Amino acid sequence: MIKKCLFPAAGYGTRFLPATKATPKEMLPILTKPLIQYGVEEALSANIHTMAIVSGRGKRALEDHFDISYELEHQIKGGSKESLLNEIRTLITQCTFSYTRQVEMKGLGHAILTGETLIGNEPFAVVLADDLCYCEDQGVLEQMTKVYEKYQCSVVAIEEVPVDEMYKYGVIAGKLVDGSDDIYRVSDMVEKPDPKDAPSNLAIIGRYILTPDIFDILRATPPGKGGEIQITDALLEQAKKGKVIGYKFKGQRFDCGSVDGFVEATNWFYDKM
């Protein structure tokens, strides 16, 4: 069973400057709800109650968001706006939140390794809150925990992407297993490939379930593409042993780390209201 979810949220979010100069990217709202809250709700709907957040300098708003604001509660008590806090109140009562700081931004792999102190020696989920996922029937993380229960190894969420966008992602090679049309045994993966080197059009998006041996692998992983410690490089070590599943999830994914994706998500959620 997966009990903890790690949220690497220490990145600078430079694509959203100047908005992210003093505000964490994860606090940018799609309509009225910040990105990180969508991610926490997705984890909770997968029956995960322990949230572990890797934050960094200038990110204290994340901690304040998942806490009670007594002044605000007092101000709106009994009024028409009180119900606007219902969802976040539910999260605060049903989840625990713990935090650690990534002191130097050395990449996603390094951020995940920084989270080891909050996770310990057990399998865990990872949500990149700037990838906003939506599925009416079953959240993407819940779908993935079911895949983990069957295969008992790391699981990465994958999606088909156009050739000209592959340079943004880790791309996998793999074979469909057990007669399914959405579950791949991963044999290779390349971080941000040139289209000519891409092993497929299946890209890893910001949802993972990782087994805890990933921490030792990350400790031994040298900086890769962009001088950063890449989770893709560490996952490749597991994949070589047949220990990574790629799962083509059901639902929508919006790349809210880019302005285009953020606007698309905003319009989509607004239309759905």
Stretch that binds ligand UTP, among 35-43, 103-111, 197-205, 214-222 (CB under 6 A): 103-111
Within 28-67, which residues bind ligand UTP (CB under 6 A)?
54
Residue 14 as a binder of ligand UTP (CB under 6 A): the answer is yes
Q: Are strands 154-160 and 252-255 parallel, antiparallel or unpaired?
A: unpaired
Query: And the tokens for 125?
Result: 């989920």
Stretch that binds ligand UTP, among 8-16, 40-48, 66-74, 171-179 (CB under 6 A): 8-16
d(CA 225, CA 167): 11
Among 2, 108, 190, 214, binds ligand UTP (CB under 6 A): 108
d(CA 71, CA 107): 37
CB of 36 to ligand UTP, least distance (A): 9
Among 2, 5, 6, 25, binds ligand UTP (CB under 6 A): 25
Which of 189, 198, 199 has the alpha carbon at shortest distance from 245?
189
Among 5, 11, 36, 139, binds ligand UTP (CB under 6 A): 11
Q: Is residue 261 within 8 Å of 201, Cβ to Cβ?
A: no
DSSP-assigned letters across all residues of 208-271: EEE-THHHHHHHTPPP-GGGS--HHHHHHHHHHTT-EEEEE-SSEEEETTSHHHHHHHHHHHHH
Among 85, 95, 106, 138, binds ligand UTP (CB under 6 A): 106
Residues found near ligand UTP in the complex (CB under 6 A): 8-15, 25, 54, 102, 105-108, 110-111, 128, 130, 257
